Structure 1
Amino acid sequence: MTEASHAGHMDAIYRTQRHFYDLTRKYYLLGRDRLIRDLAPPKDGTVLEIGCGTGRNLIAAARAWPEARYFGIDISAAMLETARAKVAAAGLNDRITLAQGDATAFDAPALFGVAAFDRIFQSYTLSMIPDWQGALREGAGKLAPGGRLDIVDFGQQERLPGAFRSMLFAWLARFDVEPRQALPEALDQIAAAQRLRARFTPLYRGYAWAGRIAA
């Protein structure tokens, strides 16, 4: 899938959903607030969300860690329209900068005037990106010295009833969401290739998986 076709596909999915996305997703996108609580960016540090959606996470992070600067990219113009409105309503235009970009290949200096970031995070995006390993590599490659990339996404429900897993996966497939079974191995491989360190943590009996690649 090309960047343009993927962008159009995401716009088609979220053109309507974006208006009630945050209200519904808070019940099942578990682990997002845990990730934000653990960000701990340095003073005057830079934080990038890859796949920022409605801007919900960036707003929460900017409020939790007010001394950092925040940036977000998303491939969906529709989602960015909602994100910009929410950031403005929160009074955070001076601290959060948004731009349209492909998670697998984006020019950070051209978009933001920043080449590398102290913190990067991807929240429930890898399960929707066809080249999800490319998105991981892109994020890891844009870390500043001492920086880290944090990930949270759907897990494999490995300690939950099989019927629940089947029902959840069938429902997610309706929205082109595919939990990434190979995430632990991909974290290790990408970290090793860039001489970084990887960490993997199942959450909520495997409902969600968290990962980290750190410099």
Structure 2
Amino acid sequence: MSDAASLMDRMYRWQRHIYDASRKFYLLGRDGLIADLAPPPGAHILEVGCGTGRNLIAIARAYPTARCYGLDVSAEMLATAENAVARAGFSERIVLRQADATAFDPLVLFGRDGFDRIVISYALSMIPPWRAVLDQATRHLAARGSLHIVDFGDGSDLPTWFRAALTGWLGWFHVEPRVQLPARLAEVATARNLVLSHATPFRGYAVYAVLRRP
């Protein structure tokens, strides 16, 4: 795979074993995103950058008729995800594949081109060409489909010391909040004729956005 895959594998070779336990304290808004998906019966739901499979398992539990798909560039994370999915009893409903989020072909990976819901949770802040991920994901929305994103915000309403400490700490993990994300989402919405809604919960700690096909 690519240099990005090698970097992620090196980073998460050991971290993947404690990832979910440690990240639950600061990857805020993931469960709210899942609750807001409201997919139609029998929906096909894709997560881009699925990591350990934590979100996909929660989605499968919340929406029993949904078929779920996940892709990630890291083989190490996918190994953890596959084990977690099997333990949860969802191997028949969750399909996992290794792929680059900036250039994936879901027809080759999963045998389908469009998805009713696509989720990107705290992945854009880890992918330098994050704009390409947005462009790629919106290409594969089905009719009336929606793209749901949660990630680090600009922290504009947080204390300056906290924002600086958080940014420095995230940098150790090659994570960079995408402060240009709201503006780019607006551009994508206009270019693709999508309806955008977004909020900045937790005093700007996070950004939560939805792009919908009208």
SS at match of 1:111: helix
Deviation at residue 199 of structure 1 after TM alignment? 1.6
Aligned counterpart, 1:8 = 6
Aligned counterpart, 1:178 = 176
Residue 101 in 1 paired to residue 99 in 2? yes
Deviation at residue 135 of structure 1 after TM alignment? 0.3
Alignment identity in percent?
A: 53
In angstroms, what is the RMSD of aligned CA positions?
0.7
On the 8 A contact 1:187/1:199 being kept in 2, the answer is no
SS at match of 2:25: coil
Aligned counterpart, 1:53 = 51
Aligned counterpart, 1:141 = 139
Alignment coverage as a number of residue pairs: 213
Aligned counterpart, 2:82 = 84
1:31-85 CA-partner distances (Å, limit 9, x unpaired): 0000000111111110000000000000001001111100000000000000000
Aligned counterpart, 2:157 = 159
CA distance in 2, matches of 1:107, 1:183: 24
Aligned counterpart, 2:65 = 67
1:15-36 CA-partner distances (Å, limit 9, x unpaired): 1100000000000000000000
Deviation at residue 212 of structure 1 after TM alignment? 1.1
Deviation at residue 118 of structure 1 after TM alignment? 0.1
CA distance in 2, matches of 1:130, 1:182: 13
CA distance in 2, matches of 1:181, 1:61: 28
Deviation at residue 130 of structure 1 after TM alignment? 0.9
Paired letter, 2:55: N
CA distance in 2, matches of 1:49, 1:4: 20
CA distance in 2, matches of 1:109, 1:144: 13
Paired letter, 1:79: M
Aligned counterpart, 1:191 = 189
Deviation at residue 93 of structure 1 after TM alignment? 0.3
**Structure 1 portions without partners, runs of 5+:** none
Superposed structure 1 runs of 4+ greater than 3 Å apart? none
Residue in structure 1 matching 2:127, options 96, 107, 129: 129
